[in-house]
Amino acid sequence: MLSNFSSNAILSKARAMYGKRLKKEDYRELLNCKSVSEVAGYLKSHTAYGKILAGVNENEVHRGQLESKLRQKLFEDYASLCRYEISVGEHFAQYLLERSEIEQILHSLMYLGAGMPEEYLFSLPSYLNRHTRIDLYTLSHVQSYDDLLDALSHTPYRKLMEPFRPVAGVPLNYTGIENALYTYLYDSAFAVIRKYTHGETSRQLREIFETYIDLINVTRIIRLKTAYHESPDFVRSTLLPFGTIKPRLLEEMLEADAGDVLDVMAKSSIGKRCQKIEHTYIDQIPDRVKYSTCRHDIRFSTHPSVVMISYIFLTQIELQDIINIVEGIRYQLAPDEIKKLLTVADYL
């Protein structure tokens, strides 16, 4: 009885929260905004982000502060859902926290690489500091890679990042660091799925993650071949060690010209699906496929864990689209040009 009650509760709650997502008219209004202040004002007055933005002066808000507030709402949504989902909720909550920690490490590393580590302070999500193993304020004071490693003491991330200590005259291997951190993260996600789910629930969760990782790897192959003309061996070293692409097909993609990779991929079922996805940039394909999958699953799946993770991924995509709108406005792009950057563009 308790299990059935919990299942019904998470299904109803996640779908009710999804019902408060941004609609077509919201995106149209946001695309026509002329400043960060206008975006913040619209979100505050007309959307479910109003509560989290209630104490924010939209006329003075910095884009980093706005993003931090929006991420806080998503974090609170995740916590709320994970409490309802008694089978794997607390374990996925840990995965989501680790994902947030990795994002903060990479942000800090980006600012450090640009020679502006103190800039991290302006986007620091203070709400996260109450939950994370990392002292985020320390990240805003790092002056070197060793300082960053020290800030990550007593976390698993230090050991993952130690092999990438900079060598004089050699560029920092940012891609290698990112790969190591996300390999750790997806290891955690798949461990949760293996240990705490079974049957159709396990299959649907694996499909969401594996499809996304397959497409991340494919787009990474294309980007590294096109923009950097990297060798197959180097590209292979950057790929996430998960997914459903058969080794022989993966090798064929690694050896193909950049323009032929998608044609090779089309030999697989995910490749055929991928070819139907409209995109302006190749990097849009993974999120657009994930959006389509999760949009279907949140409506039709009867498995609480699947509905919960679908909501989480959909809200992450919504946040990224809001950030893309803000960035487009910042660079004075026309609304139609900004729209092309959005994952949800085909649904507007």
pLDDT surpassing 50 at residue 114: yes
For residue 86, what pLDDT is reported? 63
pLDDT surpassing 50 at residue 2: no
Buried b / exposed e over 305-335, threshold 16 CB at 10 Å, is bbbbbbbbbbbbbbbebbbbbbebbeeebee
DSSP label at 329?
A: H
Q: Give pLDDT tens digits for 14-59.
A: 999 999 999 999 999 999 999 999 999 999 999 999 999 998 999 9
Tokens read off for 42: 């619209």
For residue 118, what pLDDT is reported? 84
Mean pLDDT in residue range 300-309? 93
Give the span between the Cα atoms of 204 and 297, in whole angstroms: 9
User: Is 286 in a helix, a strand, or coil?
Assistant: helix
Mean pLDDT in residue range 316-330? 97
For residue 1, what pLDDT is reported? 34
Higher pLDDT, residue 336 or 83: 336
Q: Give pLDDT tens digits for 156-194.
A: 999 999 999 999 999 899 999 999 999 999 999 999 999
R_g over Cα of the chain: 21
Tokens read off for 344: 């949800």
Q: Give pLDDT tens digits for 54-109.
A: 989 999 988 888 999 999 999 999 888 887 766 677 788 889 899 999 999 999 99
Q: Which CATH number fits domain 1-84+303-348: 3.30.870.10, 3.50.50.60, 1.10.132.50, 2.120.10.30?
A: 1.10.132.50
pLDDT surpassing 90 at residue 215: yes
Q: Give pLDDT tens digits for 236-278.
A: 999 999 999 999 999 999 999 999 999 999 998 888 888 888 8
Mean pLDDT in residue range 123-152? 91
Mean pLDDT in residue range 117-126? 83
DSSP of 71-104, one letter per residue?
HHHHHHHHHHHHHH-TTTHHHHHHHHHHHHHHHH
For residue 107, what pLDDT is reported? 92
Give the span between the Cα atoms of 16 and 18, in whole angstroms: 5
**Length of the chain, in residues:** 348
Stated pTM of the model: 0.92
